[in-house]
Copies of this chain bind each other. A is one copy, B any other.
């Protein structure tokens, strides 16, 4: 079974080493991990970003399962690139797993970045937009997509010391995927 390993850790300076650790975890469970940086590409070409996209879409099409890292990225919510991939895999009818190394509810996360006020029983952000307040850790689309297309989001009891490199919940997702391999 092939697992597409999605997440914003590809933007870290040690992204390749993290990918190797993820791949090793998959192998220990007799699964094959596909990592976005596996595609060797010449980033200096004019259409590099299009070639990256095409490579990643092929990789997703070849995978049976996605494990998405939904740890908040540059704001209160998950990395939109990773979320696109989660949506794509759900749309393709693939099994979806995900984890997030920050257990805080979404409304609390928003309040870290901007002033949140209350008006007519709604939480409102500093642009006047309602803040989702279902007690979920992120936008309901990703939370329930995981629940209905695979397995509910895995969250830690407390934020690990290194939210970008702690792979405990990634491994827990791999175990879930391995147990449900058909």
Question: Contact residues of A with B, CB < 8 Å?
Answer: 8, 11-13, 48-50, 52-54, 56-57, 73-81, 83-93, 110, 113-114, 125, 127-132, 134, 136, 138-145, 147-148, 164
Given contacts A52-B140, A129-B8, contact A83 B87 (CB under 8 A): yes
In the complex, the 10 A-B pairs of residues with the closest C-beta atoms, listed nearest first: A91-B91, A87-B87, A75-B75, A53-B144, A81-B139, A11-B129, A87-B88, A88-B91, A84-B87, A49-B134
Q: How far is A81 from B59 in the complex, measured between Cα atoms in Å?
A: 23
Query: Which residues of the other chain, B, contact A74 by a CB distance below 8 angstroms?
Result: 75-77, 110, 113-114, 125, 127, 129
Flag if A84 contacts B49 (CB, 8 Å): no
Contact pick for A147, options B50, B77, B79, B93, CB 8 Å: B50
7 more CB-based (< 8 A) A-B contacts, given A12-B129, A77-B80: A49-B136, A49-B144, A50-B147, A74-B127, A81-B142, A83-B87, A127-B164
Query: Which residues of the other chain, B, contact A81 by a CB distance below 8 angstroms?
Result: 139-142
Contact pick for A11, options B11, B76, B92, B130, CB 8 Å: B130
Flag if A53 contacts B145 (CB, 8 Å): yes
Query: Which residues of the other chain, B, contact A138 by a CB distance below 8 angstroms?
Result: 80
